[in-house]
Structure 1
Amino acid sequence: MTREDIAPIAMEATQTIISLEVAEMVGSRHTDLMRKIDNINKDFENAKLRSQEYWIEGTYKTEGNNKSYRCYNITKKGCEFLAHKTTGTKGNIFTARYMERFEQMEKALKVRAEPPRQELSDMEILSRAVLISNSKIQDLQGQVEELKPKAEFADYFLSKPGDISVDELSQILNSNNLINFGYIKLFQWLRDKKYVKKSYGDNVPTQRSLNLKIMRVAEKTYEVEGLTFMNKQTRITPKGVEYFIKKFKEAKDVRNDK
């Protein structure tokens, strides 16, 4: 596998480069880059800024080793941010390399794009079904609060179909005033409630979550400089989005009743 075969990771609509490759572009050790991003994240957290617009934390595995290692999936905006903090020749070379890399990915996406299909995909059918459901909800007097999670889910689902990351779930819950914390604390809540568990350093769904079909694990293999890596991420299914909106709304109603 060549460097051109390394695909963007994490969310479908977001092109990213794994931090291993970014470290190589910058000419630094991966551990140094990870430490640098961790320190930046502390500043972001204090300033209540969303680091996920710049990079998304993930894990990878090396071939023949089942141990998981931390990494970041870095967006184009994140690369631009790091380029501004890298001066001189290193900064110039890094800027040229990451711009070329994202251009390659954009071209690859255009080549792989399938022609429009006449038939509706499963997700399109589901999206339309949710739209109809949302319309009916508006007509049902006296049941708005009970069915509100489905309406909120429909609004989100129509704008971005498919399963999502825990970070995106935290955005939905925050936008609906159901929580007031980020994805890191949401992961902690999911672990406390036995929806996810730690496995070789990864947050993975428990058997309960898999049985409920509210989560799945997305895995992708990459190769950098002859080494094979596996990136793993917990994803929330469309059913899971509706499930957790309802779950947090029920908890909020209980708090308001007290």
Structure 2
Amino acid sequence: MSDLIIKKETMTSLEIAEVIGMRHADVMRSIRNMEEAWVKVSERNFALSSYKQAQPNGGYKDVPCYILNKTECLYVATKFNDEARAKLVLRWEDLETKERNQYQVPQSFAEALMLAAKQQEQIEEQQRQLEANSKEIVELNGAIAEMEPKVTYVDMILASKETVTTTQIAQDYGQSAKEFNVLLRNFGVQHKVGGQWVLYAKHLPFGYVQSDTFPIVHKNGTNGTVMHTKWTQKGRLFLYEELKKHNIIPLIEQNKKEEE
């Protein structure tokens, strides 16, 4: 089974159970009991997936769940009481409001960077919420799952796609990566350690960069590793604000000023 994927236009049976305050097993049973009638009318089954549930003794177990769109969800809700139906209706209203607010068109390069950074924070918050939900489920089953922080941290890094290279950011300013790195050094953002550019300690806690380590083979046949560091969207916005203090702005904003 595939890992659980939550889309804004869908709601999982796990989320339904959380919203209406029922056991997930009972919600799954209600959905299964209503599926036959739904298939006869709509000629399609409910989408079945799974999520990974942390176990008291470590590791994870695949647990089945349904993923329903709004119509399917409200159809299933007819089996619930008035209060549960009201909670689901309000939940859908909240989801649709957030989705509408998400599609705002940035009017400047700065707004685009701020929007990207905000979206990354939302992704990280969703990841933290999923981890919290997983722990809560284990507790309700009578045990506390001991999650290893290192594993969670590595998983979060590997899952993140919102990163850009120094070369890409440098191009926004019409510079080479070499020139840009020297510029950041001069402004007290980073310094070189063992041939690798690293942030000063005061910037490290804020998630501005992410690093991946890859194995290599040296010319003499020995094994080694090399680290590639990329900037997150929060880091990209940080650089924009820092450079702007020194009257250094991206090409797109330079062109806009010339047109004005």
TM interval, short-chain normalised: 0.3 to 0.5
Q: Which has the higher contact order (CA 8 A, sep 6+)?
A: 1
Larger Rg: 2
